[in-house]
Chains A and B, each alone.
Chain A
Amino acid sequence: MSRSKSALRPRYLKLHALLVYAFLFAPIIVLVVFSFNEARSGTTFTKFSTKWYDDLIHNEDALRAFRTTLKVAIVATLVATLLGTLAAFALTRFQFRGRSAYSTLVFISLVIPEVVLGIALLAFFVQFAHMKLGLRTVILSHITFCIAFVVVVVKARLSSFDNRLVEAAADLGATPVQSFLRVVLPLAAPGIAAGAMLAFMISLDDVVITFFTAGPGANTLPLYIFGQLRVGVSPRINALSSFVLAFSLIALGIGAAFSARAAKRGRGGIDATALG
């Protein structure tokens, strides 16, 4: 962990970072604390208890919703990252007719209000495609709104990409595929990882579009929570959220361990990919 000696990182940057993290984690701390509240209230803490966690492991509905959510988020992230990266690559590397049409599509998917996209997708699935609502329709919808986030982030990363590197690789005898894998991809990796993280995040958390495109048995966790919130935040919901948080942390820990091992094997430089 070497730190650059630049004078551009004075102490106040560190303080700023600390404050921003405090801002980001303030509500998280609240919800974790309240998940140990004995009373059935999200507003006044009475007594420490782990009963809501006991309750949770017996709550088949919640666990099923959690598994569904993971399934959706993982598939949606993988597909959206792949499609989005290819698209971003094409949009940065090549000049061609119709580029702006593609960009417009990307922006439309960002700007379209959720309820409108939700209803429009529902109409599309049911009236045009004659598909049965279910997990499939949810995943298709999620990929649709995830792609744009990947495109925009990867594009930003690639946009000042130096073509001379590819030329240099070619001069050294690399095939296009090799130069893509060895030169372009590692350079784009942090952008791809960042885009994938965003895609995962929004898929994991979507309520509105999921509501409209989900069929029987495709209840995701955000839908489950949304339903529960009608009666206010309960420690049960807080416990559930804390559980998801803990699960993500463990998954990330395992991911980090693997990436550390990969880095040791000499594939350093793309450490950030392990995060996606």
Chain B
Amino acid sequence: MTGPDPDRVSMAFLWDVNSPRWNRRTFMKTMGFAAAAGFAAAACGGDSNKPASSGPATTTAPEPKQLNFYNWTEYIDDKTIPNFQKRTGIKVTYDNYASNDELFAKMRTGGTGYDIIVPTDSTLVKMKRAGILQKLDLAKIPNVTNLDERFRNAEFDPGNEYSISWQWGTTGIGFDPTKIDGEVTDWNAFDLPSVKGKSSFLDEARDAFALALFSLGRDPNTLDDGDLDDAKAYLIDLKKKVKSITSDYQDPLKGGELILCHAYSGDVFQAQAVNKKLEYVIPKSGANSWTDAMAIPKDAPHPGNAHEFMNYILEPKVGAALTNFINYGSPNKAAEPFILKSITGDPLIYPPPDELAKLPFAKDLGEDEIKYADRWTEVKTA
């Protein structure tokens, strides 16, 4: 269990948009450092073809050669697990879930038998707070230095105490420009007459409130009751303009039933593979970033193997293969040279630094998150 600890505040500045310390130079410096660290680590032998013996010894007590991995569906390169099994002899059981809320509800009750789960940052912080995750032993994950600085000291888990980021992206707007009269550049696109009754927003409390708060020009992590009530009113009003509140917007967006959706970047990129007309935009007034991160439940039966797997994923080539396969942003800085130029060169996947500044992660609000949860219930039932 971690309350908001004072040490974290200084870390927070790094990503707090409003922080006076934040500017392009600090960013470049951090990036540069992370890159250097990453290359160094890569040079020190992160080659995925090397035999297991080159990897760090991770288990002190003998642990069965088994790893129960619980991840989102189709969120991994086909080769990632077979290569890991071949190299380490650890048998991986790969199961899937489809929603953070359900994952959290299930993990909360405990005893599920999984060794690695991959919650989204907003759920990760809830899990940390609920005390269901174990602290990582970073000595067993030397490749952690391959991570981009942004993910080494992120809001949701400074210093990688509990998690190693898997992939990341942004929360913006997916839309079909051929069916919309007018420009879609910001959240106010929901007001366009041609969009009325053909749009949707996400069925996630923090994401929906972030939409409202960014729109209203307020702090997306506010705890001010007035701001939150305004956001609530905004969302209840928005509810009248949209067709549905849903996180399952992919099919309707592809098929044209919805023409503008509050959406996660990766989902829209996947939809684009089917419907070429679709576009994704990161709203001008700002939006949240998200990341899915690997973590180990407290009661995991094979934590040693879980550490070994995390270290493996952080190898530059393994990380690059993952990203090349699923087309999301990689938190792995050292992997970037091996990632396809079409991905690293895409400003929507790898936003330029000045835009990145407007894309913070959602903050861990502790017990105060109830303020969001309760207002969200009011929005849903209004």
Contact with A along B95-130 (1 / 0, CB 8 A): 111110010011001111110000000000000000
Q: How far is the CA of A216 from the CA of B112 in the complex (A)?
A: 7
Closest Cβ neighbor of A42 among chain B residues:
B251
A269 at interface, CB cutoff 8 A:
no
B-facing residues in A29-78 (Cβ within 8 Å): 39-44, 61
Given contacts A223-B96, A230-B248, contact A216 B72 (CB under 8 A): no
Residue in contact with A43 in the complex, picked from B97, B99, B113, B251, CB distance below 8 Å = B251
Q: Is the CB of B98 within 8 A of A41?
A: no
Given contacts A39-B274, A231-B267, contact A219 B105 (CB under 8 A): no
B254 at interface, CB cutoff 8 A:
yes
Given contacts A41-B274, A227-B97, A230-B98, contact A216 B113 (CB under 8 A): yes
B74 at interface, CB cutoff 8 A:
yes
Minimum CB–CB distance from B120 to chain A (whole Å) comes to 12
Q: Is the CB of A40 within 8 A of B274?
A: yes
Contact with A along B247-260 (1 / 0, CB 8 A): 01011001110000
A19 at interface, CB cutoff 8 A:
no
Q: Is the CB of B73 within 8 A of A132?
A: no
Q: How far is the CA of A44 from the CA of B276 in the complex (A)?
A: 13
- Interface size range of chain A in the complex: 20 to 34
B48 at interface, CB cutoff 8 A:
no
Q: How many residues of B contact A (CB 8 A)?
A: 33
User: Which A residues touch B109, using CB under 8 A?
Assistant: 119, 122-123, 126-127, 212
A186 at interface, CB cutoff 8 A:
no
Q: Is the CB of A227 within 8 A of B72?
A: yes
B271 at interface, CB cutoff 8 A:
yes
A-facing residues in B42-77 (Cβ within 8 Å): 68, 70, 72-74
Q: How would you classify the secondary structure of chain A's contact residues: helix, strand, loop or mixed?
A: loop
A217 at interface, CB cutoff 8 A:
yes
Q: How far is the CA of A211 from the CA of B72 in the complex (A)?
A: 14
Minimum CB–CB distance from B161 to chain A (whole Å) comes to 25
Q: Is the CB of A133 within 8 A of B111?
A: yes
Q: How far is the CA of A133 from the CA of B299 in the complex (A)?
A: 13
A233 at interface, CB cutoff 8 A:
yes
B33 at interface, CB cutoff 8 A:
no
Q: How far is the CA of A228 from the CA of B251 in the complex (A)?
A: 12
Closest Cβ neighbor of A218 among chain B residues:
B95
User: Which A residues touch B111, using CB under 8 A?
Assistant: 125-126, 132-133
User: Which A residues touch B271, using CB under 8 A?
Assistant: 232
B-facing residues in A136-184 (Cβ within 8 Å): none
Closest Cβ neighbor of B249 among chain A residues:
A232
Q: Is the CB of A229 within 8 A of B275?
A: no
Q: How far is the CA of A233 from the CA of B112 in the complex (A)?
A: 28
A224 at interface, CB cutoff 8 A:
yes
B270 at interface, CB cutoff 8 A:
yes
User: Which A residues touch B248, using CB under 8 A?
Assistant: 229-230, 232
Minimum CB–CB distance from B110 to chain A (whole Å) comes to 6
Q: Is the CB of B106 within 8 A of A228?
A: no
User: Which B residues touch A212, using CB under 8 A?
Assistant: 102, 105-106, 109
Given contacts A119-B105, A127-B109, A231-B74, contact A216 B274 (CB under 8 A): no
A268 at interface, CB cutoff 8 A:
no
Residue in contact with B113 in the complex, picked from A211, A215, A228, CB distance below 8 Å = A215
User: Which B residues touch A123, using CB under 8 A?
Assistant: 109
Closest Cβ neighbor of B73 among chain A residues:
A227
B273 at interface, CB cutoff 8 A:
yes
Contact with A along B333-365 (1 / 0, CB 8 A): 000000000000000000000000000000000
B23 at interface, CB cutoff 8 A:
no
Q: Is the CB of B274 within 8 A of A122?
A: no
Minimum CB–CB distance from A223 to chain B (whole Å) comes to 7
Residue in contact with A231 in the complex, picked from B70, B73, B105, B112, CB distance below 8 Å = B73
Having A134-B113, A230-B73, one finds 12 other A-B pairs with CB under 8 Å, namely: A40-B274, A119-B109, A127-B110, A133-B113, A216-B68, A216-B93, A217-B68, A227-B73, A227-B96, A228-B74, A229-B248, A230-B72
* B residues lining the A interface (CB < 8 Å): 68, 70, 72-74, 93-99, 102, 105-106, 109-114, 248, 250-251, 254-256, 267, 270-271, 273-275
Q: Which 4 A-B pairs have the closest CB atoms?
A: A227-B73, A43-B255, A227-B96, A216-B68
